[in-house]
Amino acid sequence: MFSPDQENHPSKAPVKYGELIVLGYNGSLPNGDRGRRKSRFALFKRPKANGVKPSTVHIACTPQAAKAISNKDQHSISYTLSRAQTVVVEYTHDSNTDMFQIGRSTESPIDFVVTDTVPGSQSNSDTQSVQSTISRFACRIICERSPPFTARIYAAGFDSSKNIFLGEKAAKWKTSDGQMDGLTTNGVLVMHPRNGFTEDSKPGIWREISVCGNVFSLRETRSAQQRGKMVEIETNQLQDGSLIDLCGATLLWRTAEGLSHTPTVKHLEALRQEINAARPQCPVGFNTLAFPSMERKDVVDEKQPWVYLNCGHVHGYHNWGNKEERDGKDRGCPMCRSVGPYVPLWLGCEAGFYVDAGPPTHAFSPCGHVCSEKTTAYWSQIPLPHGTHTFHAACPFCAHQLAGEQGYIRLIFQGPLD
């Protein structure tokens, strides 16, 4: 991604357009980030522009003619209207934009390989048995190479032959100005939050983005033939905090500007050390509790804080009130006797999900991921697409569906007695 010039002159930092972060991962993929498959992907200005824009439209092509056009060494989108008729739109090089492609395919045109997110999965093997609903060439993002570096999203990506094919069954239509447009099978949904991605953010409305970047209301179900209504007052321009759903994984778009106001991993580590320095104690065993280091974010530590999700009282792990039930099943809190799940607490390590730099005082329920109050309040009100036509709020760090009245709780720590 870096040109030789940039490597030789580190001061010439490449322009960053933004980052895509996959919801459901706490800083990295379960088995580690590898190559184009990782939990977050930074989009940098390319040494040489690779964007494309529509040019010639070939109408009423026979399948043979369509194939001949598609075989040219340039990008094209084919819309199959019937067995006898195909419309092919040729795309030409655009020196003003950079193109980035996202999808399940590991072929070279895909810059960021995304696979289905399984809530709470601890290893990639957990996700392998699932029949994927993410398209191999799911979507493309086109970024302007000059300020303000606007990023726009479009459904579908070009394959290794530089083609996008919309078959007979795909929803497609002729637009009022004579152009063609269409939707992909499971669709690309986008939600822009109101008031940006800040502590004042409110969820926006989920929309579907077409192959040409137009905005539509949602179809009745994810892959219905009938498209929604066009929403002319909205655009496919991404903003800080926009969510992109690929039917199996949801991505958060953070602009470079937005990320500059986000807490860093160093800041989160300082907050962790601050909590531990206050030496919170287990009110039953009086032993000191400590959040494990960020590298050990998947292994339960003996000093790990645990919480009763109904009341928020934080303890160390103990068998009090267990009555031989398993972890996570309902147990009585020794402090207030309220009965509910008892789970270990984990720090949220993916800084890009935080809407502010506040202290980690609240936890998502039922997973126990800890972050700032404003961050839990924000994500608890965001309806994320689930399956083909349902939505629910989920923890951004593990993708577990939120439970309880609010979906999160305030943590009540007991300080040292001395």
Q: How confident is the model over 120-162, as pLDDT tens digits?
A: 765 544 445 467 889 999 999 999 999 999 999 999 999 999 9
The predicted pLDDT at position 130 comes to 61
Q: How confident is the model at residue 293 (pLDDT cuts 50, 70, 90)?
A: confident
Q: How confident is the model at residue 357 (pLDDT cuts 50, 70, 90)?
A: very high
Comparison of pLDDT for 352 and 200, the residue scoring more: 352
Residue 247 backbone zone (phi > 0: left; psi -120 to 50: alpha; other: beta): left
Residue intervals in the chain for CATH 3.30.40: 265-413
The long-range contacts involving 213-221, CB below 8 angstroms and separated by at least 24 positions, are 213/152, 213/153, 213/154, 214/175, 214/181, 215/190, 216/183, 218/189, 219/171, 219/183, 219/187, 220/389, 221/388, 221/389
In the CATH hierarchy, which top-level class contains the domain 265-413?
alpha beta
Q: Tens digits of per-residue pLDDT, 214-228? A: 999 999 988 888 999
Name residues whose C-beta falls within 8 Å of residue 9's C-beta, 6 or more positions apart in sequence.
Answer: none
Q: How far is CA 119 from the centre of its chain?
A: 13
The predicted pLDDT at position 314 comes to 94
Percentage, residues of the chain above pLDDT 70: 89
Q: Tens digits of per-residue pLDDT, 298-329? A: 667 788 999 999 999 999 887 655 544 444 46
The predicted pLDDT at position 2 comes to 38
User: Contact 192/242 with Cβ under 8 angstroms?
Assistant: yes
Q: Which of the given ranges, 24-38, 78-92, 260-274, has the highest pLDDT on average?
A: 260-274
Element (H, E) at 257: helix 256-259
Residue whose tokens read 């609903």:
133
Residue 101 backbone zone (phi > 0: left; psi -120 to 50: alpha; other: beta): beta
